Structure 1
Amino acid sequence: MANFIDRRLNPKDKSLGNRRRFLKRVRKHIKKAVDASVRERGISDVDQGERISVPAEGLSEPVFRRASDVGHRDYVFKGNKEYRSGDRIAKPEQGGGGAGKEGSDSGEGEDDFVFALSREEFLDIFFEDLELPDLIKQSMKEVQTFRPQRAGYSVSGAPNNINVARTMRNALGRRLALRRPNQQEVRDLQERIFKLEAVSSPTAKQKRELKNLHDELEEVLRRQKVIAYIDPLDVRYNYFQQQPQPNANAVMFCLMDTSASMGEREKDLAKRFFVLLHLFLKRRYDRIDVVFIRHTHNAQEVDEEAFFYSRETGGTVVSTALREMMKVIEARYPPSEWNIYAAQASDGENFAGDTDTCVDLLNSEVMRLCQYFAYIEILDEAELKLFQGEENGMELWRGYRRVKEEWPNFAMKRIASPADIYPVFRQLFAKKMSGAA
């Protein structure tokens, strides 16, 4: 049995295997630090790395120690050059040997161990318990990934890629061109030699013929050795080229009420949710298109700057945003080629009677095309306490509850502060536990 040790150096001479084992060992501390960091930092900085501090006790390892209840024992350990058994060691003077430092008020103490998480490690831990629902559609439009495909033959390659048929064909052609003797010729010469050697009293002619046959057999055997049955030049390998393969695409529709009732606080909370959702989708798809649709009593597709920062006046008619979304899907994003996600942010206000129109549009058209539709209602703290329970809420909330009952890929939550965004986000995309009832 052979053991192979990979001693190749990683960047900055760090062992990737050791780092993975370390992260696994202190995962509880890392997860706690990552969650705390995410709550403190801005959403735009979520995909950056982080410096993690792990308490020293979290790095302790199990060790064997001598039992303390087996009597008093004195030891002089190996390597000691100054003391012998029975010597008394004086206490160090003030200021020497590390003295002069203030002690801990709780006994011994150690510094925490600090190390840096890379961006990928940080995001892996942050997203480890999240999962997008129904990732089943494959886009046939954008080419981003590659797959090996047969592309002829090569004179070099791995042994498992040898093409036996092509190799034997090349060997046969080379043997015919160089006139390599075959085994039938060797057997014919050996039979003639055997017959002549069986003659009890051969004539001079037979003796000369026998000698010539021995010489010819020796030459034939020599040519067989010189001209190999299969030469390295004959060997051919199957050659593969990396051919582009279709990859999954997604489009994310951001719908937001920009009427006067949506102030800067509401828009800021909506932006944080949209940015986090986009970051999460970007982890699952190589290409993400984002479409911003704002609405008051009219809806229009705008760029990100106008979506978050322009001010508009007017009433609120939510159905206009859903109709505008359907127009964009029909024009640019056919459902057979795109995974469609939608996130809507509102304060819950809507024009009287328009909520029923929104429910009809969602049930009859929008939800049939969407992989997922997330609705967040932005309230203040007083309203959040007032509307406790899903059955209570504004008119739009009560209407969307009917949609939620019909479609499992429709989710709705309320938020009132930045601290609510992450729990809501995790609830919307919580991983389904295997084996759950």
Structure 2
Amino acid sequence: MTYFIDRRPNAKHKSAVNRQRFLERYRKHIKRSVEEAVNRRSITDMERGEKVSIPTKDISEPVFQHGPGGARQIVSPGNKEFLEGDKIRRPNGQGGGDGAGEGGASNQGEGDDEFAFTLSREEFLEFVFDGLELPHLQRKPLKSLEEIKMVRAGLARDGVPSRISITRSMREAYARRIAMRAPIKRALKEAQEALAAEERKDPVLRNPARIVELKAEIERLEKRIEGVPFIDTYDLRYHQLSAQPQPSSQAVMFCVMDVSGSMTQNHKDIAKRFFLLLYLFLEKHYEKVELVFVRHHTAAREVNEEEFFYSRETGGTIVSSALTLVNKIIEKRYPAEQWNLYIAQASDGDNWDDDSNICRDLLVKQLMPQLQYYAYVEITPHEHQSLWHEYETVAAQFPERFAMRQIVDAGDIYPVFRELFKRRLSQEQ
């Protein structure tokens, strides 16, 4: 395919469309660079833009120009290889030893750097979260009157000019004109017939006074017909609007992080990067999603965003304390019939003896019947422990709404995140 590129200078902000076309054309290369950037970034700079490089060979464009054409004779000063009449071979274009080839290094000539440009924050996050969504998001009844939609609710005789119904108003005016003119037209027709009958009489029998009277009556009736207004304020109709409560797709995401002593600093950094990705994803794509942050060791606490990511509190491990707290918060503030409920949990899998069974029972009997989706990531390079095995039984009972993945190192965070929140074709609306 041949591409024609418009190189004319554009006014300010007029090249936005061209930029979007460029991003779409090289989407595969940009997405690969974005994935590499996500894996190497620290927690504090996950939401800034990114500098992206594309190999020059992948953005090469055909160039149209006038060639010299025909046979040419040239003089090459300092030439020691060719004599007059020799033919110079055409370059083979394979980037042999004399040049830089496809932008590579050589001992002579010049090479080409990769084409680099910067993605804005919005563009970067768009590529990071492309194709992701909250699974099984449903419409829920409205919990308050804040979310309403103004819908048409019939017609009224009073209203503002911007809501006037022209069609209905003209119909009312037409009906009124017909109703008002009908008896006048009948009287006019009778007067015209009477005048015609009077004028057909013999001149001896005619009544001049009656003719004058009939003509005056006809003139009066015609003026009355003309006096009927084309449209009157009585005819005007206005669209009425009423506030109608709308189903809400509001949701709450519970972020549950293990901060026990078995979680090393590296494990905690990986968990924080996972939750930061989740936070940015929800912030970008959803307006009606609240976040609840829960940290736990032997005891669980609901904390704010800053404390969740930066507090250094630690201790033993009782995972059920976090699940119990989440269940209490749901009962108190987020009833399942009004909210889409999601939980994302990160842990190293280490848990107190016999507590994993309690976690399983809490999930099966209390939490999972209310939840839309539960995502569990276990951050460990070692064999799975009892918590993972108990969660496997939960996943077997709720295969569509319970997902669990393992993260070994930072390079697994983004692929696992995309796997957990990838768009599903059978998404419920």
* TM-score, with structure 2 as normaliser: 0.73
Cα distance in structure 1, aligned partners of 2:45 and 2:222: 78
Task: Compute the displacement of 1:422 (Å).
Answer: 0.6
- The question of whether the paired residues in 2 share the 8 Å contact of 1:149 and 1:241 is answered with yes
- The question of whether the paired residues in 2 share the 8 Å contact of 1:143 and 1:246 is answered with no
* Residue 410 of structure 1, aligned match among 398, 402, 405: 402
Cα distance in structure 2, aligned partners of 1:25 and 1:188: 80
For 1:105-157, what per-residue CA distance to the aligned partner results, in whole angstroms no more than 9, with x for missing partners?
Answer: 23798887766655544434332322321111415225565422237553534
| Equivalent residue number for residue 77 of structure 1 | none
1:394 corresponds to 2:389 = no
- The question of whether the paired residues in 2 share the 8 Å contact of 1:144 and 1:247 is answered with no
- The question of whether the paired residues in 1 share the 8 Å contact of 2:177 and 2:228 is answered with no
SS at 2:269 equivalent = helix
| Equivalent residue number for residue 320 of structure 2 | 319
Query: Partner amino acid for 1:132?
Result: L
- The question of whether the paired residues in 2 share the 8 Å contact of 1:297 and 1:317 is answered with yes
- The question of whether the paired residues in 1 share the 8 Å contact of 2:141 and 2:246 is answered with no
| Equivalent residue number for residue 374 of structure 1 | 375
1:253 corresponds to 2:250 = no
Cα distance in structure 1, aligned partners of 2:202 and 2:257: 114
Task: For structure 1, list consecutive stretches of 5 or more residues without a partner in the other structure.
Answer: 1-9, 75-85, 92-102, 388-392
SS at 1:325 equivalent = helix
1:334 corresponds to 2:335 = yes
SS at 2:253 equivalent = strand
Task: Compute the displacement of 1:184 (Å).
Answer: 2.3
Cα distance in structure 2, aligned partners of 1:415 and 1:182: 90
- The question of whether the paired residues in 2 share the 8 Å contact of 1:253 and 1:290 is answered with yes
Cα distance in structure 1, aligned partners of 2:161 and 2:147: 26
Task: Compute the displacement of 1:394 (Å).
Answer: 1.5
Cα distance in structure 2, aligned partners of 1:372 and 1:399: 17
Task: Compute the displacement of 1:173 (Å).
Answer: 9.6
Alignment: residue pair count:
387
| Equivalent residue number for residue 293 of structure 1 | 294
* Residue 189 of structure 1, aligned match among 170, 184, 191: 191
Which aligned pairs between 1:35-434 and structure 2 lie closer than 5 A? 35-43=35-43, 45-50=45-50, 105-106=100-101, 117=119, 119-141=121-143, 145-150=147-152, 152=156, 153-154=158-159, 156-157=161-162, 161-162=165-166, 164=168, 168=172, 172=176, 182-201=184-203, 203=205, 205-206=207-208, 208-231=209-232, 234-240=235-241, 245=246, 247-312=248-313, 314-380=315-381, 383=382, 387=383, 393-408=384-399, 409-433=401-425
SS at 1:253 equivalent = strand
Task: Compute the displacement of 1:426 (Å).
Answer: 0.9
Cα distance in structure 2, aligned partners of 1:181 and 1:19: 70
- The question of whether the paired residues in 1 share the 8 Å contact of 2:184 and 2:224 is answered with no
- The question of whether the paired residues in 1 share the 8 Å contact of 2:253 and 2:290 is answered with yes
Task: Compute the displacement of 1:260 (Å).
Answer: 1.3
Cα distance in structure 1, aligned partners of 2:183 and 2:393: 88
Cα distance in structure 2, aligned partners of 1:339 and 1:332: 12
Query: Partner amino acid for 1:35?
Result: E
Instruction: Give the root-mean-square deviation of aligned CA atoms.
Output: 4.3
Cα distance in structure 2, aligned partners of 1:123 and 1:363: 35
* TM-score, with structure 1 as normaliser: 0.72
Cα distance in structure 1, aligned partners of 2:17 and 2:196: 69
- The question of whether the paired residues in 2 share the 8 Å contact of 1:252 and 1:278 is answered with no
Task: Compute the displacement of 1:191 (Å).
Answer: 2.2
- The question of whether the paired residues in 2 share the 8 Å contact of 1:49 and 1:117 is answered with yes
For 1:380-412, what per-residue CA distance to the aligned partner results, in whole angstroms no more than 9, with x for missing partners?
Answer: 4xx3xxx4xxxxx21211221111111121111
For 1:47-68, what per-residue CA distance to the aligned partner results, in whole angstroms no more than 9, with x for missing partners?
Answer: 44556556676667789999x9
For 1:80-101, what per-residue CA distance to the aligned partner results, in whole angstroms no more than 9, with x for missing partners?
Answer: xxxxxx998999xxxxxxxxxx
Task: Compute the displacement of 1:322 (Å).
Answer: 1.4
Query: Partner amino acid for 2:418?
Result: R
Cα distance in structure 2, aligned partners of 1:246 and 1:157: 28
Structure 1 pair 410/37, CA: closer, same or farther in 2 (3 Å)?
same
For 1:300-325, what per-residue CA distance to the aligned partner results, in whole angstroms no more than 9, with x for missing partners?
Answer: 33334444444445432222221122
Task: Compute the displacement of 1:358 (Å).
Answer: 1.4
Cα distance in structure 1, aligned partners of 2:227 and 2:314: 94
- The question of whether the paired residues in 2 share the 8 Å contact of 1:260 and 1:312 is answered with no
| Equivalent residue number for residue 89 of structure 2 | none
For 1:333-354, what per-residue CA distance to the aligned partner results, in whole angstroms no more than 9, with x for missing partners?
Answer: 2111221111111111112222
For 1:190-241, what per-residue CA distance to the aligned partner results, in whole angstroms no more than 9, with x for missing partners?
Answer: 22233223324365634x4334434543453344345333358843331436
Cα distance in structure 1, aligned partners of 2:151 and 2:297: 53
Task: For structure 2, list consecutive stretches of 5 or more residues without a partner in the other structure.
Answer: 1-9, 77-97, 103-109
Structure 1 pair 239/166, CA: closer, same or farther in 2 (3 Å)?
farther
- The question of whether the paired residues in 2 share the 8 Å contact of 1:248 and 1:285 is answered with no
SS at 1:424 equivalent = helix
Cα distance in structure 2, aligned partners of 1:117 and 1:45: 14
SS at 1:256 equivalent = strand
Cα distance in structure 1, aligned partners of 2:360 and 2:262: 22
- Calculate percent identity across the aligned residue pairs: 43
